[in-house]
Structure 1
Amino acid sequence: MRYLAICLALFLPLMALAQSQSEEIDDILDRHILPGFEALVEETGALAAAATADCTPASEPLRAAYNAAFDAWVRVSHLRFGPMEAENRGFALGFWPDARGATPRALADLIRDQDPVIDTPEGFATISVAARGFYGLEFLLYDPELSSAEPAAYRCALIRAASADTHATARAILSDWQGRYAGLMRGAGRNQTYQSYDEALRALFGALVEGLEFTADLRLGRPMGTFERPRPRRAEAWRSGRSLRHVQIALESQADLAARLSVSEPEARGRVTHVFDLAIARADALDDPGFAGVATPAGRLRVEALQQSIRDVDGLLRAELGPALGIAAGFNALDGD
């Protein structure tokens, strides 16, 4: 009897922990991941329909649909594991940064050659990821040269093909989440992908901190350049004036994920929410849609302050939330260590 009591005393806390972790994962899947990709499918479907109705780059309905779909992408763009990794889907939707200018070159080549590869969805899916997705469409809708490139009929077909391709890619990602990958996370400990709930939580934590690093180092770091040589035209989606908006949307989405990851750690959750709120407030106050202000000392200082706020969030997550989830302080989001 005493042996049984000892076993129960040891085993029941582990059962409670597993139950808590299982509920956290269910919550993140049902309220963060799956709704995010469902919204992406819906908005890319609207984009494809808008392009079919009117492929004119300056079309207000087309641009509105494009921006709504791009918003939906940014909200899930930190979830670059599992279905997003398969078949380079993440890059097919979001090939950025493009340090070598591959996107405009690939698009210009297609238009110049009037390449028939775009005539079928299967053919379009084989072209370079640089010419696909939201960043390729930004050039086709907002870049002065590519948005007016001739022949207009081919350019129109390319816009329609690219829009339809974003929808097909989004559907494939959601299908994988619904059909297989969500089940792997829910069934952690009973499959080889996630051999414990801890592993599943580490994957989610890794996506969170990697998303923050991406925003601080690339979304903000690239246009900042150096003090002597700022690079505002290296900002993400500056042609469509979306650079700051991406930071705002990403922070809001990542704040939601962080809150759900920290639900069982109320003290840490309060501090995490506070630092996210500070970073979001700083982004909201910036009023510099394309980060053109980094070319001035005062403008650069404001972007630097925002960057530091995001790094403060990242540091707090690593120092407090990570250890609470059983993740070492030296965790590297890029290699999973």
Structure 2
Amino acid sequence: MLKPLLTATLIALPLSLPLTLPATAQDLPPPVVETAVRDHILPGFSALAGSSARLAQVAETDCTGQAETLRNAWGAAFDDWIRVSHLRFGPTEMENRAFALAYWPDSRGTTPKTLTKLFADHDPIITSPDGMGSVSVAARGFYALEFLLYDPKFQTDAGYACALTRALTADIAATTSAISRDWTESYTALILTPGSEYSPYHSTDEVKQELFKALAMGLQFTSDTRLGRPLGTFERPRPTRAEAWRSGRSQHNVILSLQALRQLALILAEGDANLVSDVEQAFDTAIQQATALDDPIFAGVEDPSKRLKVEILQQTIDLIREQQLANIGNKLGVAAGFNALDGD
């Protein structure tokens, strides 16, 4: 979560804010922070901005909901979002950007309700300059676009569906571009210079905690939400609560998330050979289990034998949370008792 006034600070920062590091050796950020920014965060958001821009370009050429090229472009951009979706701090949290890209879970069905109203009213707001910025976040981003691409209900009114598809893809492109730009032009300098005038972080330890929290939250979201929601209870499994089941991406998103979290975890292990080996083994086991499910939308949660495999995967991820997170926290010097899911 952003510190107070951080949004205003980021907006006010000059674009020429230098990305140079402090001059004195004792002020230099540790390699783990530099590596996380250079190898994980910046390339992740750059890739997302690039694939989102391509998605918007494809929509301008062919906005038909069932067009394979459009679905593929959406899938590629969505892949890149999943790979950075655990980085919920800094530029992603400004102006509700993360929610505007990914409003899910949606336990009350707000997204289809809001989309239905837009269609019923033929609301012209989507065609006005910056109009999508005034639309509810429930009707923006990758999950809203999934309805237009994969739910026949939203493909009957071809003219409005086309206009809304183009508006949504342009909005996604603008939002992801802003996130990537803010990371490059301002937030990288802020996170690498804790204690400086504009930085929201008072110390390097706070930066480490931010990265550690992102890893912990990513694991929890995949376990509790991506797997927990479709699992429901044994008596009442809920397969249609799985993430992106309409497009058949539920299992795929779990695998992508685990691969991205694996990369961040290995960076945070700071080159400790034993810890790196343990982290690699734990994540590789989880990824292998996720891949072996052969259950794209977790429909198997209603079958006891297939459900067991999903539960075992969830237990494996929870074991990573319990064991490897503790080891990484000790390595980073995260204070005992620090809850990575707490706010600032």
TM-score, normalisation: structure 1: 0.92
Q: Which runs of 4 or more aligned residues in structure 1 lie more than 3 Å from their structure 2 counterparts after TM superposition?
A: 15-19
Q: Secondary structure at the match of 1:125?
A: helix
Structure 1 partner of 2:72 = 64
Q: Secondary structure at the match of 2:264?
A: helix
- Identify which of 137, 140, 144 aligns with 2:148: 140
Q: Secondary structure at the match of 1:201?
A: helix
Provide the rounded CA distance (Å) in 1 between the counterparts of 2:337 and 2:304. 34
List gaps (5 residues or longer) in structure 1.
Answer: 1-14
Mapping 1:92-103, distance limit 5 Å: 92-103=100-111
1:195: how far off? Answer: 1.2
1:81: how far off? Answer: 0.6
Q: For the pair shown, which has the larger CA radius of gyration, 1 or 2?
A: 1
Provide the rounded CA distance (Å) in 2 between the counterparts of 1:18 and 1:211. 29
Structure 2 partner of 1:280 = 287
Query: Amino acid of the residue matched to residue 285 of structure 2?
Result: L
- Identify which of 266, 290, 304 aligns with 2:311: 304
User: Which stretch shifts more, 258-267 or 79-88?
Assistant: 258-267
CA shift digits 1:217-245 (9 cap, x unpaired): 00000000000000000000000000001
Counterpart contact for 2:208–2:334, Cα < 8 Å: no
Structure 2 partner of 1:168 = 174
Structure 1 partner of 2:185 = 179
1:146: how far off? Answer: 1.6
Q: Rate the CA distance shift 1:254–1:135 in 2: closer, same or farther, 3 A.
A: same
Larger RCO (alpha carbons 8 Å, 6+ apart): 2
Counterpart contact for 1:222–1:235, Cα < 8 Å: yes
Higher helix share: 1
User: Which stretch shifts more, 261-270 or 74-83?
Assistant: 261-270
Mapping 1:204-283, distance limit 5 Å: 204-283=211-290
User: Which stretch shifts more, 242-251 or 112-121?
Assistant: 112-121
- Pair 1:110 & 2:123 matched: no
Structure 1 partner of 2:12 = none
Provide the rounded CA distance (Å) in 2 between the counterparts of 1:16 and 1:277. 37
Query: Amino acid of the residue matched to residue 231 of structure 2?
Result: M
1:271: how far off? Answer: 0.9
Q: Secondary structure at the match of 1:209?
A: helix
1:154: how far off? Answer: 1.1
CA shift digits 1:42-75 (9 cap, x unpaired): 1001110111111111101000100000000000
Q: Secondary structure at the match of 1:145?
A: helix
Provide the rounded CA distance (Å) in 2 between the counterparts of 1:101 and 1:333. 29
1:327: how far off? Answer: 1.4
Query: Amino acid of the residue matched to residue 194 of structure 1?
Result: Y
List gaps (5 residues or longer) in structure 2.
Answer: 1-23
Structure 1 partner of 2:99 = 91
Provide the rounded CA distance (Å) in 1 between the counterparts of 2:316 and 2:343. 24
Counterpart contact for 1:139–1:147, Cα < 8 Å: no
Q: Rate the CA distance shift 1:154–1:335 in 2: closer, same or farther, 3 A.
A: same
Q: Secondary structure at the match of 2:134?
A: coil
Question: RMSD of the TM alignment (CA)?
Answer: 1.5
User: Which stretch shifts more, 190-199 or 28-37?
Assistant: 190-199
1:17: how far off? Answer: 8.2
CA shift digits 1:200-258 (9 cap, x unpaired): 01100100100000000000000000000000000000000000010000000010001
Aligned length: 320
Query: Identical aligned pairs, as a percentage?
Result: 52
Counterpart contact for 2:194–2:207, Cα < 8 Å: yes
- Pair 1:195 & 2:177 matched: no
1:266: how far off? Answer: 2.6
- Identify which of 135, 138, 160 aligns with 1:154: 160
Structure 2 partner of 1:25 = 33
Provide the rounded CA distance (Å) in 1 between the counterparts of 2:73 and 2:225. 26
- Identify which of 49, 58, 62 aligns with 1:50: 58
Q: Secondary structure at the match of 2:152?
A: coil
